[in-house]
Structure 1
Amino acid sequence: MRYLALSAGLLCTMLAPTASVVAATSQNQYQSYPAVVEIRAGISWPTGQALPIFATPAPQLDAVPIGALSPDEQLTFSALQGYVNKQQPRIYLADLRAEEGSKTWPQTSTVALGKMSFFDASSRYDLIKKYASDFNGVVLYDTTRSPHYRNLAGTVAGLSGALPVTTEVLERIRDQGMNPNVAVDLTELEFTSPIEIYNYLYDRYWGDCTRRLIVSARPDDEGGNFHHTRDIATACGAAVVWLDGRIPAERDVMRKFYGDMTAGDAIALGWYASERSGITTASEFGIGTLPADYYSNSSIFSGTNHQIQIPAVPSKPQLENKVYIAVFISDGDNIQYTQHAMRRRWDASSDARAQLPLNWTIAPGLVDIGPGILNYYYSTATPNDCFVTGPSGMGYAMPVNTLTEPGAPVGIYLKDSDRMEGYARLSETYLQRSGLRVITIWDNANEMQRAAYERNCRNLYGATVQNFRDVPSVRGSVEGDRVRFEKLVIPYAGSIEHLESSLQHELGDWDGTGPLFLAYQVDVWHELKPDRIVEIASRLDERFPSAVQFVRADHYFNLFNEAHQLPWNLCMSAATMASDHGSTDLGGTVTDGTPTTIWTASADAAAAAPPWLQLDLGSAHSIHRWVIRHAGEHGLNRDRNTRDFTLQVSQDGRAWQTIDTIRGNTANVSDLEYSPVDARYIRILIDNPGADSIARIADIEIYGQRVQP
């Protein structure tokens, strides 16, 4: 049984107006990847989309070197950047000391920024003069009593369309012949503590701020963040705060902000005074955080290359009596890491990456805030590179903390089931949009949380959980007879000896009576670079010949399910062959795990008969779930999705049994469940291709398990 429906309430809470809708199963309703967005002006921020998408950058950009700006000038220029780039990205704040190289991303093909006209230290205020019509006066502030006035001024400026300025910056602006009015004067405020300042912000301005985004940015003179993601805060009217979760009174103020935000339609950008005290505070309310305290030019990178080129997935290895090892590389949830350090490590490890399957954590939120960056990694990945989410889905959340730190004792933080559902639904949106199929959870998930992941994240193959201090509740489990939660053997291996000695121990204890599955996460910052992991794998193969196989995470979880007689994606098997009315072998076009390769057929291509697609699974399997990605122009035109189609199965490829007929479909993904049926062959008859009479299928997934003799 199945139905095709989407409730109005679900649509409002989960989907962007431009999004395509997944056909619901009898148990589930959820959305697919949304339409590709191309914006010529303004921003797009529909409901269900975590972050705004900016327009395509102008071919000619105005650039100012960050090194030419004082901290308070950075605040002013980032606000100007936000206002200008909200219409069309035209201002770039150049970091000439960027770890990856100052020209690396602008000259990367997936980003491809245009020419830049530089305003240097002597001419930087000419840029303000050039765009004087884009802002309305100034918000005057003074840091003498507290540096937190920077955040208050930035917030107030974003709401009033003004530039945050100190007296010194205002004088420099006036030196250029401009005389902006002072829209708000904050210099007369006498607050000295962050609690006073942010309570004032909350009481006076929070009601006018967007509740969908909050930026946590350190305003201190030493180590402060004065421009990172402040452009996006200004463009969206987001509050900018900095409260220390290790201090109970400050944590309580932060909880007031998060308590007004809606799980599933809100995100935090930035970082915290300490990792766990900040992350657990946000997690309590189902709010994920994108670590972004050094992420630059968010309003520029958000506008690049919105069509995500999800990499093809190679066929998984045949299940054998082996030890399967999945290695997960930290810390890709940090979007500043993907912008800076990861780029350098990734490019330097291309040879090693080609030799061994490795699993790279990455932030699915990059589809909004850095699609060109995400597409670079996707387009340069080898078949051995698998991408998975950083913790713990869409944005860093910590449902359960297993490591005591000041302000963050061990315990369950995300206790509200509605908030957990919201976070899981948002995570599913971004699993679909980014093509990610595995979540790495920091640290753990209890029964309620695991059930929410399984119920809402239909794109999920599996998840890892980790245990920093031997908390007994951190365990492996299978939820809904579908999703494996794998307890990592080591949650954050930091050295070659640490990883290799554990692997040697586990392999030495293996009794060889059945497949063994071992998952590790490694600390990317120290010894365990990809080439070192390759060396470890080589030594293991020498000691345990033909017994060890390193695998991609998507293969790992499908192999686990196959080994334990649980449903798995049968299209991932090398034995599964696809054909159509005109070809006996489609070469994996519809079984390669990506919607970017599309099978097409015109209505007259099959003469009198309708076009059809057929899968030969190689042997009989018990089948219960079909996932069909119709991919009408990647969701850009729903009229081009397959309108009417029929699902059939067969034992011998001659006698066919109809499972269902679907009529009037407009969804670009159908996810359908039925009572199990035994079959070797699967067929989809395209009864009505859609408005332009061209049938399109991007990808097919069939879930089941082998029929035992």
Structure 2
Amino acid sequence: MFPKYQTTATTMRKTLTLATALASTIRLAAQQPATMITETTNGANIRTEVSEVKRITFADTTYNLNKNGYRILEANDLCWPDDRLLPLFLPPTTSLKSLDMSAASLSGEERVMFCTLQGLINRTSPRILLYNHNEEPRTTWPSAHSLRTAVIPTSKPYTLVKLFKDEVKGLVLYSNTQSEHYSNLAATIAGLDRLLPVTKEIRAKLVANGMDFPVVEDLTALKMSSALDIYTYLYDNYWHRCSHRLLVSIRPTIPYVHDISAACGAACVWLDPRKSDERQLLDKMLQDLTPGRDIVLGWYPEERSGVGEATKYGLSTVPADFFENTTVYAAVNKPVRINPVPKRPRLENKVYATVYISDGDNIQYCQHAMAKIFEQSGRGKMAMNWTISPALADISPMMLNHYYRKATALDCFVSGPSGLGYAMPYDAHNSRYYASATSSKLVKPYAQLTQRYLEKAGLRVITVWDNLSPVQSKVYADNCPYLYGLTVNDWERQSGRLTGRVQSKWLPITPLYPCYANSADVVTDFFNRDIKKFKGTSPMFVTGQVTVWDVGPDKLIALKDKLDALSPGNVNIVRADHWFSYYNEARHLPFDITLLQDMEITSSPTKTSAKYAADGSPSEEYMWVSQAAEGTGWVQMDFKDTFQVSRYVIRHAEAAGLAPQLNSRDFTIEASLDGDTWTTIGTHTANTAPVTDTSITPVEARYVRVTVTHGGIDGHVRIGDIEVYGAH
């Protein structure tokens, strides 16, 4: 992405071109609407509709070079597409320098300095890996990302700074004597100007190790002592220079996410929305972020007031205050390898139960505690739903792949609250809506962002905290077609139980009852309030949630026998995607009939397997590919029963992370009652989109066939996944 020059000069001017091309003068052979696709060296494809391009400019650029001759990037040099939560970083170097900061016994202020250094260096090219919060085995995530490291001796940690001293301009000198919030102020300035935030004690250690950096910013003369005054100073003097794509909310001296804040030039604050003056200052910052694009990363002094305040502005919070090495793991930019979804048996007059495990919205939990809990022996013995953050699709896609690789057919991943990042439309504990109950203005961009990341991460269910108004429910239904269902929390803080509902005649919204239970016995007690009424004449559905801190797989597995004892032979504990499929079928609502165990699938000759065309995974490993490179192919599904088919979805090559040019261009979808007489229900030509999602007037059918007449640019037809929605 960035040129290398064999020179020892610290700065140079490189003239790329003096031409400016207007989009109106560009001739494009592609059919309209034309799409310009920029492929970067880290494998990303940036799509831009030509009609949206005003000007393409190549101009003189002045920049600094490091000792290896590579351009040193400043925060505003990063490539940060609007459809990504974080910038596109170059891939990690062959061998990263690693330091165990815990073993090196570094102070909190030293760790902030080292994490800031990591962000400054990794901004140009990821070369530093730091260990801080070692709950999981230290090799877990470097191994999952296929990284090699060269260890810095913990007895000489400042050797790491010396290795990269030429890429540091100087120091921000501060003291936490009057207030710990100076640490966040110093770290913010450091990220903007390629400086290291240091106290006088840390500076003395740098000098003792042969590094006498100049003090560029000296904050020690400042007399402010309150969080409000310090962050007001930050806002007045530096906020206009900070990135408004990301706000980091982090307790001062906690080091973990300072690498990404420094790399992005983001502000670091710790403001308490429960205090009106601090809330007003936080609001001024939140107002400058864009709903549906930007996020808050970190945490707050108090959960509900903090998450709720961001929600008021259409923003979500990705809990991450102990998440390590974001600038390394985000740089391993690989597609998420989504597992195939097991087929389900026919619906019976049984009790269908499903249970969710909490806290997966918190990416530090995904990185640390979940890595241990997921290894418990009870996992894989009963269907369990693991909440996980769809934000990992950008922040650490290989972390998602790690869990997918280890998952059994009984492990189902679902989104934590309330989609892409933690948002709280309604706070049941305080009986208030943070997002307007009657307007879709700010919920809509959040739902659209959520849809994109649900699909990238392969998550079909969202656990919403705490509830949704009718308007908010409709926003999810209108903008999140990838969903199978939503859950809301019944904290028993209202009169009577919450009841389930169906939004827009297809999206089920069901209460978790209980929610955040602390034992299998509690779940059993709540479920029995319904199961004791089961007559066996129609299906019954129960669903609940446990807190992972009290109920891991080894304890949750006891639920299987406990529920069977309530109604022997009548209770089926199932995955969440199956549960919602059964739920919709029982209510004669559309559901994805490709999940049915009875479905038979055939195809034209394939290099892979016919079943891959409709297995619930669009990933390359499970993709249907035509055997011949003739640009044609077909797939046919026999559902063994007739359904009112009302929607079909086809995921093409790009949905698996492959080049957009490999998407199928021309194809038809047909339906039949007998397999002989066919009716065309969809015709698509000149397709460039990664996903085709089409609703139709319901048609009765037993068979559905997809026929491609113009495949990818290499002549092969690729089908990532097919979904067909029908109802009895």
Cα distance in 2 for partners of 1:259, 1:562 equals 43
Change (3 A) 1:20 1:441: farther
Indicate the residue corresponding to 2:248 in structure 1: 215
Tell me which residue corresponds to 1:29: none
Partner of 2:119: 82
Superposed CA deviations along residues 539-565 of structure 1, whole A, max 9, x for unmatched, are: 322442221001111111111110001
Q: Distance in 2 between matches of 1:534 and 1:41?
A: 53
- Contact 2:531/2:566 (CA < 8 Å) preserved in 1? no
1:106 aligns with 2:106: no
Who is 1:696 aligned against?
718
| Displacement of 1:211 | 1.2
SS state at 1:57 partner? coil
Distance 2:331 2:431 in 1: 40
Q: Give the 5 Å matches for 1:281-360.
A: 281-304=309-332, 306-349=334-377, 352-360=378-386
C-alpha separation between the residues in 2 aligned to 1:19 and 1:674?
31
* Corresponding residue of 1:130: 163
1:430-449 maps to which residues of 2 (within 5 A)? 430-449=453-472
Matched-pair contact (CA < 8 Å) for 1:21–1:667:
no
Q: Aligned partners of 1:327 and 1:159: how far apart in 2?
A: 45
2:572 aligned residue: 549
Match of 2:27 in 1: none
Partner of 2:513: 489
Q: CA deviation at 1:172?
A: 2.1
Q: Does 1:266 align with 2:308?
A: no
Call closer, same or farther: CA 1:384–1:252 in 2, change over 3 Å.
Answer: same
Mapped to 1, the partners of 2:294 and 2:517 lie a distance apart of 32
- Aligned partner of residue 179 in structure 1, secondary structure: coil
What does residue 624 of structure 2 align with? 599
Letter matched to residue 129 of structure 2? Y
Whichever residue aligns with residue 611 of structure 2, its letter is: G
Q: Deviations over 1:8-51 (max 9, x none)?
A: 9xxxxxxx9836799xxxxxxxxxxxxxxxxx998653102122
Report percent identity of matched pairs.
40
- Out of 159, 179, 183, which is 1:146 matched to? 179
Aligned match of 1:170 in 203, 216, 222?
203
- Once the two structures are TM-superposed, the CA of residue 496 in structure 1 deviates from its matched residue by 2.9
Does residue 499 of structure 1 match 2:523? yes
Q: Distance in 1 between matches of 2:149 and 2:85?
A: 30
The answer to whether the 8 A contact 2:352-2:579 is kept is yes
- Residue number among 431, 448, 458 corresponding to 1:425 in the alignment: 448
Q: Deviations over 1:148-175 (max 9, x none)?
A: 0110111111111111111222222223
**1:414 is the counterpart of 2:435:** yes
Alignment partner, residue 197 of structure 1: 230
Residues 607 and 627, structure 2, Cα contact 8 Å, conserved in 1: no
| Number of residue-to-residue matches in the alignment | 659
Distance in 2, matches of 1:21 and 1:649, equals: 35
CA positional deviation for 1:505: 2.8
Letter in 2 for 1:113: L
Structure 2 residues not aligned, in runs of 5+: 1-30, 36-42, 50-70
SS at match of 1:79: helix
Quick one: which of 500, 511, 516 aligns to 1:476? 500
User: Would the alpha carbon gap of residues 65 and 156 (structure 1) be closer, same or farther in structure 2, given more than 3 Å must change?
Assistant: same
Contact preservation (8 Å) 2:605, 2:626: no
Runs of 4+ off more than 3 Å: 4-8, 19-22, 40-44, 472-475, 582-587, 602-606
Alpha-carbon spacing, 1:585–1:58, altered in 2? closer, same or farther (3 Å): closer
**CA–CA distance in 2 between the matches of 1:576 and 1:329?**
31
- Which sits farther off after the overlay, 585-594 or 544-553? 585-594
Conserved in 2, the CA contact under 8 Å of 1:400 and 1:414?
yes
Distance 1:663 1:41 in 2: 45
Q: 1:13-32 to 2 correspondence within 5 Å?
A: 18=45
- Structure 1 SS opposite 2:578: helix
Alpha-carbon separation, structure 2, partners of 1:5 and 1:560:
42
The 2-side partners of 1:55 and 1:376 are apart by: 21
Look up the match of 2:20. none
How far off is 1:469 after superposition? 4.1
Q: Which residue identity lines up with residue 530 of structure 2 in the other structure?
A: E
Aligned-residue RMSD, C-alpha: 2.4
CA–CA separation in structure 2 for the residues paired with 1:496 and 1:334: 23
Cα separation, 2, equivalents of 1:514 and 1:139: 69
- Shift of the alpha carbon at 1:388? 0.3
The secondary structure found in structure 1 opposite 2:626 is strand
Deviations 1:180-217 (A, max 9, x none): 22222222222111111111111211111111111111
The answer to whether structure 1 residue 571 and structure 2 residue 599 are counterparts is no
TM-score by length of 2: 0.87
> How far has the Cα of 1:332 moved from its partner?
0.9
2 CA distance for matches of 1:577 and 1:599?
Answer: 15
Deviations 1:568-620 (A, max 9, x none): 001011122111134899552111100121111155679xxx42111111122
Does structure 1 conserve the Cα–Cα contact (< 8 Å) formed by 2:120 and 2:194? yes
Cα offset for 1:378?
0.6
- Contact kept, 8 Å, 2:606 with 2:624, in 1: the verdict is no
* Residue 422 of structure 1, CA deviation: 1.0
- Give, in angstroms, the shift of residue 474 of structure 1: 4.8
CA change 1:487–1:130 in 2 (3 A) is: same
Distance 1:319 1:41 in 2: 60
CA distance, structure 2, for counterparts of residue 677 and residue 101 of structure 1: 54
SS state at 2:532 partner: helix
Alpha carbons of structure 1 residues 400 and 127: separation in structure 2 relative to 1, 3 Å:
same
Name the SS of the counterpart of 2:423 in structure 1: coil
Q: Please name the residue that 1:73 is paired with.
A: 110
Ranked by relative contact order (alpha carbons within 8 Å, sequence separation 6 or more), the top structure is: 1
- Cα gap change, 1:366 to 1:198, in 2 (>3 Å): same
TM-score, L = length of structure 1: 0.89
Alpha-carbon separation, structure 2, partners of 1:481 and 1:199: 49
Whether contact under 8 Å (1:475, 1:487) holds in the other structure is yes
